[in-house]
Amino acid sequence: MEYIRRFRGATFVVKFGGEVLGDEEVVSSVAKDLAFLEFVGINAVVVHGGGKRISSTAEAAGIKPTFINGLRVTDAKTMAIVAKVLHEINQEIVSTILKVGCPAVGLNPPKEMVFATTKRKGEVDMGLVGDISSVKTKAITSQFSHGVIPVITPLGVGKDGEIHNINADTAASALAKGLNAEKFILITTVDGVLDQNKKKIDKLTVTKAKKLVKSSSVSGGMVPKLNACIEALEDGVASAHIVKASKHALLEEILTREGTGTMITRQ
């Protein structure tokens, strides 16, 4: 009850990793946790990925996925697949939340624009990959008073109406900042941030998280996750959490003293 009272009226941004979405039981459990948060007066917002399904769909269409620094090179044909798959996943998550008795709505560009973007520039042409220039929160906050959970697709819209692909961790971090969220929570397939002995680290500060990123202790998909957490915290989010997807792990992490994943704070 202590944490429920403390966080009533606060906003939590929850990011579903694409690797989690294939487990229907886990997604259903997280949906129940989200519904509980909404029931006790906490505003929950979902941002989702979809990388694994996008890659398999692209390969089936004869397109070999290419990544540079963890970002998908996105030509026009790939962008069509990205948009189609992400919209499908968005509606699946919305449907799952509705099934557990909580109102939910999907927000997908170009009809509903959350992220305004500019096409990424650099030495290598990434195609239709976008950098977020601003976050449009009105479409999200308007749902809170109705007890509706918004589910956000990580796609942006440029000034010319062109749709851009955005890294889902980056999108979720930017949204947490834009909404002045109390918590930024990443649901993934690992226990949390692991140390050199592969033991879970329960708590980290931003300073320690930055040192881990620069070291060889963390690698692969954990690097962008930690960077997303660091960015959110440095722009005002109170705490970030990296949590393994399991039955009611979300509630255990944020509503108990012990938690279940890794919590990251500014100090």
Q: Confidence class of residue 106 from pLDDT cuts 50, 70 and 90?
A: very high
- Is the model's pLDDT at 166 over the cut of 70? yes
Find out whether 187 and 168 touch, Cβ atoms under 8 Å. Answer: no
CA distance 224 to 61: 28
CA distance 179 to 29: 25
Give the residue from 215, 141, 143 showing the smallest Cα distance to 181: 141
- Is the model's pLDDT at 148 over the cut of 90? yes
Q: Confidence class of residue 253 from pLDDT cuts 50, 70 and 90?
A: confident
Say which amino acid occupies 16. Answer: F
User: Which pLDDT score, from 0 to 100, does residue 222 have?
Assistant: 83
Q: Please give the distance of CA 86 from its chain centroid, rounded to a whole number.
A: 13
What b/e string do you get for 228-262 counting C-beta neighbours within 10 Å, with b at 16 or more?
bbbbbbeeebbbbbbbbbbeebbbbbbbeeebbbb
Give the residue from 107, 135, 120 showing the smallest Cα distance to 72: 120
Task: Return the higher-pLDDT residue of 122 and 183.
Answer: 183
Dig out the tokens for 262 from the structure: 């890794």
Question: Containing H/E element for 149?
Answer: strand 149-152
Q: What are the extents of the domains in the chain?
A: 2-265
CATH number given to 2-265: 3.40.1160.10
Dig out the tokens for 212 from the structure: 């881990």
User: Which pLDDT score, from 0 to 100, does residue 162 have?
Assistant: 94
182-210 residue pLDDT tens: 999 999 888 888 888 888 899 999 999 99
